[in-house]
Structure 1
Amino acid sequence: MDRSTSLVAELLKTVPRLRTQIYFKSSLTALSHAMEDQVLASFDPPLVIASFQQERFYRQEAHRYRRLGKKSDQIYIFSAPDTSFNDEDSRSTTINFAAEDTLANEWHLVVIGKTFTSCLVCQECSVSENQQASSVDSARRFEGIWTFDEEVAKTTASFLLDKVLDYRPELSDKIATAREHYCQQVSSLTTEDKKAQPDPFVERLLTHLQAGQYRLIRAYSSIAQKEEKERLLRSLTNAIRQSLDIHEILEITVQELGEALSACRCLVYRCRTDTTTAKIKHEFLQSHVISVKDETWPVANNPLLKKVQQDQTPLYIQETAKETTIQESPLLSSLVKENQIQSWLLVPLLYQGDVIGMIELHHCQENGSPWSENDIELVEAIAPQIGLALTQAEAYANLESLNEQLEALEQTRSNLVAITGHELRTPLSTIQVCLESLISEPDMSEELRQVMLSTAMNDAERMRRLVQDFLTLSRLESGRIEWNPEPMSVEECIELSLSNIRGQNTENPLPTIENESKEELPLAYVDGEWLVEVLAKLLDNACKFTEKDGKITLSATPQSGNTVQVTVADTGRGIEPSRLETVFDRFYQEEGALQRTTGGTGLGLAICRQIVNKWGGEIWAESKGKNNGTKFHFTVPIAKEARVKSAARS
C-alpha cells in the first residue's frame, strides 16, 4: 500500500457501501479502550493492529499493550518515527513509520478474534489556526469508520499488514501466518457461532458521548470568545492607561481587531454628525488587500454611515453585491468596487450619546468567513473604550493647548510689564523734568521754554502711540473691531500712508522712500482705514531700521486676478532667516525689549498680521540676513467688480 494514500480512502474505495462519520478524540479513546478490554476479557489469542500519531499517545497506552502482548503474539504497533520502544514492548511487533506516511494523521485499531471482530479507521480533520488555538486536545476531530463488520475488519487488517511488510520485510513469515489465521474470507457460521455484534446500548453510549463532546466544544468556544473579548479589552485598557497618544492607541486597536476577527481590512477614524470627509490614518491590512491609508473617506454623502450615525447601532452587510442601498448609490458602488469590499461591518464610537468616530471591518474575498453575533458584540464591547480614549486624548490635547496659551499669556504679561515700565517711565520722566523746570524757573528764556514744551509734547505723543497700540491689538484679538470693507484704490492708500509717515517725522530726516506702484491697479475690497494703518506701520518699521542714507521702496502687483500683493522693501539691517516668522509675534524686538537702539513696543508687526488676517490675506517677510535689508509682503483681495473687468480684458 502506498505510504501517501490514506487508509480511509483506500477502504472506502474497496468497500463503497461504507459511510464515514465524525468522531472526537475523546470518543475514539473510549472506543479503543472498549475494543482492547474485549481482547483482555477473552481467552482466544487475537490479531491486534494499532497506530499512534505521536510517541506521547503511545506512552499513555503502553501498559495496556504490554498486557495485550501476553494474550497473543500477533500484536502490531505503529508509532511516530521518534518513538523509543522499551524492551518490555518486545512481546509486540513495533514499527516506526516514516514522517511522510499518512499514518501520522490517522488513528487505527483493528481487532480480529475467533468470536469477535471490531475495526476503527479514522483520519484527522484539518482545522483552522483559530480553531486549533481555541480547542483542547480531547476536542480534536477525526473522520472515519467504526464497525464490527467482519469483512471490513479483515480488509483493513490486510492493508495494515501490507504496511508492516513494507517497513519490516523480515517479518514476512509471521505476516503470512497472520493472514492465514485471521484474514481469510468471511466464514459461514451458524447463528450460535456468529461473532459478537454491537448491541443498541453500545451505540446509544457512543451517541451520548459524542453529544456530550459537542456540548463541551460549544462551552469551550464560548469561553474562548469571552477570553478573547477580555484580552482585547485588557489590551486596549492598558494602552489607554499607559499612553495618551491617540495615534498609538488607534494603531493597537486596528491591529488587535483586524487579527481577532480575521478581517482583510480594519479602519478606525474620527467623524461626527457634521463631518464631511475623514482622513484614514489608522489601518490594519492583510497582504493581498488594497490599502486606503491617507485617503479621504466620504462621510456626509455615505448613506450607510448616516444610518449608523442616526441609529447609533452597528450595521453589518454580509454581501455588498446584494445590498440595495449600495447598488442604488453611485458613491457606495464605486467605493465597494475600488476597495474590493465583499462584507462590510460598521460600528460607531460613542461618547455621552454622540458619535465621535467609526470602526470599519472589511472582507475583501468572496470566501471570507461571515462575522457572527459574538464577533459584532466583541467590537461593540471595545467601541466605548475607544470612544473614551478619543475623548481623553482630545481633552489632553486641549489641556496642552491651554497650557501653551497660559505660558504665552505669562510671557506677554512679563513683556508688558518690562516694556510698559521702560516705554512709559522714560517719557514720563522727561515730561516731569520739563514741567518742573518751567514751574521752578519763571525767568527761563522764551527759546528754552519752547524747547521744554516741545520735548514734553513729543514724549506725550510717544506715550499716546504706545497706549494706542495696546488698545488696537487688544480690540483686534478680541474681535471687537467693526470692519467696513468697500472697493478701495490701493494707490490712494499708499499715498495716504506716505503722507502720514512724512507728517510724523518733520524734524528728523527719513531714508529715501520711492513709490514704484505706477501701473493701474484693480480696486481692493478692504477697509481703507486699516489698509493705511498696515502700510503706515510697515513704513514706520522700515524707517526705524534703515540708515538715513538708505532706501525704502513700495510696490504693488496684481496676483492671479484675485489679490494684489503689496511690498515694502528696505536696505536696512535685515533679519536672520530663522526669525522671519517670529518677528510677527507680540512684543518681539530684534535687539531685545530693553536693550534696543530704536523706539517702539514690538506690537506693530503683530497688529499688521491681525489686520491682514481679518480680510483673509497673508503677510510674510523675506531677508538674507544681517545688513541685507528686508522685504515685507502682504496681500489684499480684489473687489468683485475689478475681477470681472480683469476677466473680460483677458
Structure 2
Amino acid sequence: MQAKFKKSYRFALKTSLFLSFLITLLMSLFLYVFYTFNIWVVLAFAFSCCFFSFLVIQFRAERLIYRRVKKIYDDLTLLESASLHNGPITTDMNTLTQEIDKFARDKKLEIETLKIREQYRKEFFGNVSHELKTPLFTVQGYILTLLDGAMDNEALREKYLIRASKGVERLTYIVKDLDMITKLEVGDLSLKIEVFDIVELIKGVFDMLEMKAHKKKISLIFDTNYSKPIFVNADKERIQQVVVNLIVNSIKYGRERGTTEVSIENLIKNKVIVRVTDNGEGINKVHIPRLFERFFRVDKSGSRKEGGSGLGLAIVKHIIEAHDEKIYIESDFNVGSEFSFTLEKTK
C-alpha cells in the first residue's frame, strides 16, 4: 500500500462505517423494543458489520474501477506507451491521473516535433528543387539553343558554352555543399585537429577575397594590429572555410564603400572569440532564428544574383558545433551584422 491511504480504501471505509452505524442503530432499536439491550452485543455486531461491509465494498469498488482503468490501459497500450505497458495496472486515481497526464504531454511533444520535422522536410525539398532547377534550366537552355543552330556561330557558341559551364559549376557547388553538410550532420566528416595561427589564417582569407571585396569597394580590416600570433587548436581547413563563408557573406550583403572588420579577443583562459563585423544591410530580428537553416534566405524574392549555394551559414554552424564550440549572431536592420564564434586557445 502507498504511504497515503488509497482513496478507494477511504471510500470503502467511510461507506462501511455509515452502513454499520445505520444497521447498528436499527438493531439497537430492535433489541431495545423486543429484547434486552446489551452493549457488548451491539459493539460486536457494529464491528462485524463494519468489517464485512468494508471488504464487500472495497472488493466491489476495486473491481468496478479496475475494469474501467484496464480499458484505459488497453487503449493506451495500443498507442505503444512503454511507461504504461511495462508497469502494473493501478486503481489509484491520483497515480493514474499522473501517468495519463505524462503520457498526454509526451505524445503532444512528439506530435509537435513530428509536425516541425514534416514542415522542415517540405521546405527542404522545395528549396533543394528550387536551387537545382535554376542552374539545370540555364544549362539546358544554352545547350538546346546551340543544338538549334547557334553552334554554327563561333562567337555565340563560345559565349553560351561559358555560361553553361558556369551553370554546371554552380550545380557542382550545391551538390558538394550538400554532401559536406550531410556528412557533418551524421558525424561522418572527421576533423583534423592541429595547432595554427588564426591571425595568419585570416590574413590569408583577406588576400584570397581582396578582389571580390574591391569590386564593391569594401575594406577588409582587422580591428587592431595583431603583431603576435594567436594559436588555436582546431581543424585549420574547416576553420578557414568558416572564415571565408562569413567574410563572403559580409561582402555580398555589405554596403558599397563599407567595411568588414575582424577582431580576435580572449574570452576565458583557454578560449578566444573571433568576430566578423560589417556595416551592411543587417538582418531583421524575425529572420535571425532561422538564419542557419539550409537554403534559408532572408530575400524572399528568390533572387540569386549574389550566387552561392544557400548552405554557407548552415555549414559554418555545423563546423563550429563539430568543434564543440559556439557561434553567435547580432544584427540590426540597416545598421550591420556581427557573426562570432569561439575556438580553443593553445597555451
Q: Classify the TM-score, shorter chain.
A: 0.7 to 0.9
Q: Distance in 1 between matches of 2:325 and 2:20?
A: 75
* 1:567 corresponds to 2:275: yes
Name which of 516, 534, 554 aligns with 2:223: 516
Q: Distance in 2 between matches of 1:133 and 1:521?
A: 85
Q: Distance in 2 between matches of 1:576 and 1:232?
A: 57
The residue type paired with residue 441 of structure 1 is: N
The residue type paired with residue 217 of structure 1 is: C
SS of 1:616's partner is: coil
Report the CA distance shift for 1:231/1:469 in structure 2 as closer, same or farther (over 3 A).
Answer: same
Aligned residue-pair number? 322
Mapped contact 2:69–2:91 kept (Cα < 8 A): no
Corresponding position of 2:338:
631
* 1:591 corresponds to 2:299: yes
Name which of 51, 54, 67 aligns with 1:218: 51
Q: Distance in 2 between matches of 1:435 and 1:498?
A: 43
Report the CA distance shift for 1:382/1:590 in structure 2 as closer, same or farther (over 3 A).
Answer: closer
Shift of 1:529: 1.0
Name which of 333, 352, 360 aligns with 2:86: 352
Shift of 1:637: 2.3
Mapped contact 2:262–2:277 kept (Cα < 8 A): yes
Report the CA distance shift for 1:449/1:413 in structure 2 as closer, same or farther (over 3 A).
Answer: closer
Report the CA distance shift for 1:225/1:637 in structure 2 as closer, same or farther (over 3 A).
Answer: farther
* 1:439 corresponds to 2:272: no
Mapped contact 2:66–2:91 kept (Cα < 8 A): no
Shift of 1:638: 2.5
> Where in structure 2 are the equivalents of 1:247-262 lying within 5 Å?
none
* 1:487 corresponds to 2:199: no
SS of 1:578's partner is: helix
> Where in structure 2 are the equivalents of 1:220-369 lying within 5 Å?
220-226=53-59, 351-352=85-86
> Where in structure 2 are the equivalents of 1:372-451 lying within 5 Å?
390=102, 393-395=105-107, 397-426=109-138, 429-430=141-142, 439-442=151-154, 444=155
Shift of 1:561: 1.6
Corresponding position of 2:325:
617
The structure carrying a bigger helix percent of its residues is 2
Shift of 1:222: 2.9
Report the CA distance shift for 1:488/1:561 in structure 2 as closer, same or farther (over 3 A).
Answer: same
Q: Please list every run of 5 or more consecutive structure 1 residues that lacks an aligned counterpart in the other structure.
A: 1-127, 147-200, 244-348, 356-376, 643-650
Report the CA distance shift for 1:482/1:428 in structure 2 as closer, same or farther (over 3 A).
Answer: farther
The residue type paired with residue 342 of structure 2 is: T
Corresponding position of 1:533:
241
Corresponding position of 1:266:
none
Mapped contact 2:282–2:335 kept (Cα < 8 A): yes
> Where in structure 2 are the equivalents of 1:1-400 lying within 5 Å?
135-136=17-18, 138-139=20-21, 207-226=40-59, 351-352=85-86, 390=102, 393-395=105-107, 397-400=109-112
Q: Distance in 2 between matches of 1:506 and 1:221?
A: 89
Shift of 1:541: 1.0
Shift of 1:471: 1.7
Q: Distance in 2 between matches of 1:134 and 1:521?
A: 87
Mapped contact 1:569–1:630 kept (Cα < 8 A): yes
The residue type paired with residue 135 of structure 1 is: L
Q: Distance in 2 between matches of 1:492 and 1:131?
A: 83
Structure label with greater radius of gyration: 1
Aligned CA RMSD, in angstroms, stands at 4.3
The residue type paired with residue 273 of structure 2 is: Q
> Deviations 1:95-127 (Å, cap 9, x if unpaired)?
xxxxxxxxxxxxxxxxxxxxxxxxxxxxxxxxx
Q: Percent identity?
A: 20
SS of 1:584's partner is: coil
Report the CA distance shift for 1:235/1:610 in structure 2 as closer, same or farther (over 3 A).
Answer: farther
Shift of 1:439: 3.4
Mapped contact 2:20–2:50 kept (Cα < 8 A): no
**Which has the bigger relative contact order, CA under 8 A and spacing at least 6?**
2
Shift of 1:545: 0.8
SS of 2:209's partner is: helix
Q: Distance in 2 between matches of 1:435 and 1:523?
A: 56
Q: Distance in 1 between matches of 2:276 and 2:67?
A: 61
Report the CA distance shift for 1:413/1:130 in structure 2 as closer, same or farther (over 3 A).
Answer: same
TM-score, structure 2 length as denominator? 0.74
Report the CA distance shift for 1:600/1:558 in structure 2 as closer, same or farther (over 3 A).
Answer: same
The residue type paired with residue 637 of structure 1 is: E
Single out whichever of 515-524 and 569-578 deviates more from structure 2: 515-524
